[in-house]
Structure 1
Amino acid sequence: MNKKPITIAIQTAIYSALASSALVFTPAYAAEESDVEKPVKQVASQTEQVQEAADEKIVITGSRLRRDSFTVATPLVTLGKEAISDTGLGELSDILVDNMPSLSHGISNTTSQSSVSNTGVTTVQLRDLGSTRTLTLIDGRRVVSNSKSGNYVSMSTIPSGMVERVEVITGGASATYGADAVSGVVNIITQTNKEGFGAKVRGGESVDGGEKEFTLDVDYGTTFADDRGYLFFSSTYDKQYGLKFTDRDRAAIEPSFKYDEDTMQNLIQTEDGYVHLTGTSQDQWRNRSDGIFGGVFLESSRFDPNYWYDGQTLRDDWKGNEEKYGINTRQFVQLKVPSERVSAALKLDYDITDDVTFYSQVQFSGNYTVNDKSPEDSYEGETATYVDRVTGEPGTVRLGYIPIDNPYVPEEIRETAGQYKDRIYWDRRMAEVGNVKTDNERETVRAWAGLQGTMFDGDWDWDVSVGYGKFHQEQFRYNEFNVFRAQYALDAGYAEDGVTIQCNDAQARADGCAPLNLFGEGSISKEAADYIRANPVLNTYNEQTTVMGYIAGDLFEMPAGPVATVFGAEYRNESQEAITDDELTYGGITWNLVPGFKGEISVAEVFAEASFPLLKDVVGAEHLSLEASVRASDYDIKNVGLVSSYKLGFLWNVVEGFNVRGNWAIAQRAPSVNELYEPAAGDFDSYDDLCDGTTMTSDDKGHDNCRLEPGILAAIADSEEGIFEDDNNSYSPNAGNPELYEETGETFTLGFTYMPSFMDGLSLAVDYYDISITDAIDEFSNERIIEECYATGIPLGQPNEFCNAIERNSEGQIEEILQRSYNIDELATRGVDIAVAYAYDLNDLGSLKFKLDWTHLLEHSNTSTGNEGKVKEDYVGYYGTFEDKASASLAWYIDDFRIRWSTSYKSSALRSKSTQESWEEAMLDNDERCAAGSEDCVANPESLAFQNYASYFKHNLAVSYTMDMENESAVILSGGVNNIFDDKGQFFYGGRGNFGSEYDAGTGRFIFVSAEVRF
Structure 2
Amino acid sequence: MNKQKLTLAIQAAILSGTCVMASAQEVEVQSTANTVQEAPLATDNKQVEKIAVTGTRIKRDSFSLATPMMSMDSEELEDSGLGELADILVDQIPSISAGSSNTNSQSSVQNTGLSTIDLRDLGTDRTLTLIDGRRAVSNSYSGNYISLSTIPSSMVDRVEIISGGASAIYGSDAIAGVVNIITESGKTGFDIDFRGGQSVEGGAREFTIDTGYGADFANDRGYLYFAASWDREFGLDPSERDRARYESSYDYNTSKLCNEMNTVDGDQCMRDITPDDWRERSDNTPGGTFEGNDWFYHPENGLTEGFVEERDGFNAEPYDLLKIPNDKLAVALKLDYDLTDDITAKMHLQYSDNHSVNTKAPEGQDYNDDELLVDPVTGESSLIIPGSISPDNPYVPDAIRETAGSSVSWDRSFNEVGDIVNDNQRKTLRTYFGLQGTAFDGEWDWDLSVGYGKFKQEQRRSNEISIVKLRNALNAEYADDGETIQCADQSARDDGCVPINIFGYNSITPEAADYIRANPIIDTDISQFTLGGYMAGDLFSVPAGVVTSAFGFEYRKDEQEVHVDSALRALAITFNDVPNFKGDVTVKEAFAEASVPLLSNAEGQQSLTLDLSLRLADYSQKNIDLMASYRAGLLWQPIDGYALRANYARAQRAPNITELISPPRGDYDSFTDICDGVTLTSDDPGHDACRQDPAILAGIAASEDGVFIDENTGYSPNAGNEDLVEETADTYTLGITMSPEQLEGLQLAIDYYDITIEDAITQIPNADILRECYDSTVAYGADNSFCGDITRDSEGQITQIIQRQFNLNEETARGYDLSIAYKYDVEEWGSLTFKADMNHVIERSTSFVGNDGLETNDYNGELSSGVFTDRATASIAWRYDNLRIRWRTRYKGSVVDDFDRVEDWEELKAENQALLDAGDPDAISNPETPYYLYYGSYITHDLSFSYRMDTQQKWDLKFYGGVRNLFNNLGPWVPNTGDNTESGRGNFNSAYGGGVGRFAYAGAEIRF
1:814-854 CA-partner distances (Å, limit 9, x unpaired): 11111111101411111111110000000111001110001
1:684 to 642, 654, 668: 668
Matched, 1:709 2:693: yes
1:606-638 CA-partner distances (Å, limit 9, x unpaired): 000000111111222101100000000011111
1:796 to 766, 770, 780: 780
Counterpart residue number, 2:483 = 499
Amino acid aligned to 2:931: A
8 Å contact 1:584–1:595 — kept in the other structure?
Answer: no
Question: Cα distance, 1:751 vs. partner?
Answer: 1.0
Counterpart residue number, 1:372 = 359
Task: Determine the C-alpha separation between the residues in 2 that align with 1:402 and 1:688.
Answer: 31
1:865-915 CA-partner distances (Å, limit 9, x unpaired): 111111112222222221211011111000110101111101111112222
Matched, 1:660 2:644: yes
Question: Cα distance, 1:226 vs. partner?
Answer: 0.4
Question: Cα distance, 1:294 vs. partner?
Answer: 1.2
Task: Determine the C-alpha separation between the residues in 2 that align with 1:1010 and 1:588.
Answer: 50
1:987-1010 CA-partner distances (Å, limit 9, x unpaired): 113212211211121001000000
Note the residue ranges of structure 1 that are not aligned, 5 or more in a row.
1-8, 29-49
Counterpart residue number, 1:126 = 119
Residues 989-1008 of structure 1 mapped to structure 2, 5 A cutoff? 989=975, 990-1008=983-1001
1:907 to 893, 911, 924: 893
2:882 to 887, 891, 896: 896
1:208-266 CA-partner distances (Å, limit 9, x unpaired): 11100000011111111100000110000000000111111111222112223233322
Amino acid aligned to 2:934: N
Task: Determine the C-alpha separation between the residues in 1 that align with 2:872 and 2:339.
Answer: 48
Question: Cα distance, 1:311 vs. partner?
Answer: 8.9
1:162 to 155, 167, 190: 155
1:461-483 CA-partner distances (Å, limit 9, x unpaired): 00001111110000000001110
Counterpart residue number, 1:546 = 530
Counterpart residue number, 1:465 = 449
Amino acid aligned to 1:26: P
8 Å contact 2:523–2:562 — kept in the other structure?
Answer: yes
Question: Cα distance, 1:934 vs. partner?
Answer: 5.5
Matched, 1:618 2:607: no
Matched, 1:383 2:367: no
Task: Determine the C-alpha separation between the residues in 2 that align with 1:667 and 1:824.
Answer: 17
1:811 to 782, 792, 795: 795
Matched, 1:298 2:312: no
1:74 to 67, 71, 86: 67
Counterpart residue number, 1:265 = 258
SS of corresponding position for 2:140: coil
Counterpart residue number, 1:392 = 379
1:236 to 229, 237, 249: 229
Residues 505-524 of structure 1 mapped to structure 2, 5 A cutoff? 505-524=489-508
Residues 810-889 of structure 1 mapped to structure 2, 5 A cutoff? 810-879=794-863, 880-889=866-875
SS of corresponding position for 1:93: helix
Give the direction of change, closer, same or farther, for the CA distance of 1:294–1:801 in structure 2 (3 Å limit). same
Counterpart residue number, 1:916 = 902
Counterpart residue number, 1:765 = 749
Task: Determine the C-alpha separation between the residues in 1 that align with 2:477 and 2:851.
Answer: 54
Amino acid aligned to 1:888: A
Counterpart residue number, 1:950 = 936
Amino acid aligned to 2:788: N
SS of corresponding position for 1:336: coil
Question: Cα distance, 1:390 vs. partner?
Answer: 4.0
Residues 300-699 of structure 1 mapped to structure 2, 5 A cutoff? 300=293, 306-308=295-297, 313-316=302-305, 324-417=311-404, 421-583=405-567, 585-586=569-570, 588-699=572-683
Counterpart residue number, 2:959 = 973
Question: Cα distance, 1:930 vs. partner?
Answer: 5.0
Task: Determine the C-alpha separation between the residues in 2 that align with 1:1005 and 1:18.
Answer: 27
Question: Cα distance, 1:279 vs. partner?
Answer: 2.3
8 Å contact 1:611–1:627 — kept in the other structure?
Answer: yes
Task: Determine the C-alpha separation between the residues in 2 that align with 1:661 and 1:94.
Answer: 30
Note the residue ranges of structure 2 that are not aligned, 5 or more in a row.
1-23, 976-982
Give the direction of change, closer, same or farther, for the CA distance of 1:854–1:365 in structure 2 (3 Å limit). same
1:911-940 CA-partner distances (Å, limit 9, x unpaired): 122222222232344445556666654443
Counterpart residue number, 1:32 = none
Question: Cα distance, 1:284 vs. partner?
Answer: 1.0
SS of corresponding position for 1:97: helix
1:662-701 CA-partner distances (Å, limit 9, x unpaired): 1100000000011111111222222111111112222111
Q: Which moved more, 1:275-284 or 1:534-543?
A: 275-284
1:946-993 CA-partner distances (Å, limit 9, x unpaired): 111111111001110001234542101011000000000111132122
2:272 to 279, 295, 313: 279
Task: Determine the C-alpha separation between the residues in 1 that align with 2:64 and 2:538.
Answer: 14
8 Å contact 1:583–1:589 — kept in the other structure?
Answer: no
Amino acid aligned to 2:930: L
Amino acid aligned to 1:785: I
8 Å contact 2:53–2:62 — kept in the other structure?
Answer: no
2:948 to 938, 955, 962: 962
Question: Cα distance, 1:299 vs. partner?
Answer: 2.9
2:109 to 109, 116, 119: 116
1:14 to 11, 19, 29: 29
Counterpart residue number, 1:93 = 86
8 Å contact 2:636–2:643 — kept in the other structure?
Answer: yes
8 Å contact 2:152–2:228 — kept in the other structure?
Answer: no
Task: Determine the C-alpha separation between the residues in 2 that align with 1:368 and 1:51.
Answer: 57
Question: Cα distance, 1:391 vs. partner?
Answer: 3.8
Counterpart residue number, 2:20 = none
Give the direction of change, closer, same or farther, for the CA distance of 1:708–1:235 in structure 2 (3 Å limit). same
Question: Cα distance, 1:310 vs. partner?
Answer: 5.4
Task: Determine the C-alpha separation between the residues in 1 that align with 2:310 and 2:213.
Answer: 58
Compute the RMSD of aligned alpha carbons. Answer: 2.0
Amino acid aligned to 2:209: L
Task: Determine the C-alpha separation between the residues in 1 that align with 2:869 and 2:381.
Answer: 46
8 Å contact 1:27–1:54 — kept in the other structure?
Answer: no
8 Å contact 2:285–2:313 — kept in the other structure?
Answer: yes
SS of corresponding position for 1:335: coil
Matched, 1:24 2:38: yes
Task: Determine the C-alpha separation between the residues in 2 that align with 1:203 and 1:210.
Answer: 13
Give the direction of change, closer, same or farther, for the CA distance of 1:504–1:86 in structure 2 (3 Å limit). same
8 Å contact 1:221–1:230 — kept in the other structure?
Answer: yes
1:134-157 CA-partner distances (Å, limit 9, x unpaired): 000111110010002111211221
Question: Cα distance, 1:388 vs. partner?
Answer: 2.1
Question: Cα distance, 1:52 vs. partner?
Answer: 9.5
Give the direction of change, closer, same or farther, for the CA distance of 1:51–1:261 in structure 2 (3 Å limit). farther
Q: Which moved more, 1:87-96 or 1:341-350?
A: 87-96
SS of corresponding position for 2:947: strand
Question: Cα distance, 1:738 vs. partner?
Answer: 1.1
1:645-676 CA-partner distances (Å, limit 9, x unpaired): 01000000011111111110000000001111
SS of corresponding position for 1:71: coil
Counterpart residue number, 1:217 = 210
Q: Which moved more, 1:805-814 or 1:348-357?
A: 805-814
Higher relative contact order (CA 8 A, sep 6+): 2
SS of corresponding position for 1:55: coil
8 Å contact 1:296–1:309 — kept in the other structure?
Answer: no
Task: Determine the C-alpha separation between the residues in 2 that align with 1:19 and 1:703.
Answer: 52
Task: Determine the C-alpha separation between the residues in 1 that align with 2:161 and 2:44.
Answer: 26
Task: Determine the C-alpha separation between the residues in 2 that align with 1:215 and 1:627.
Answer: 43
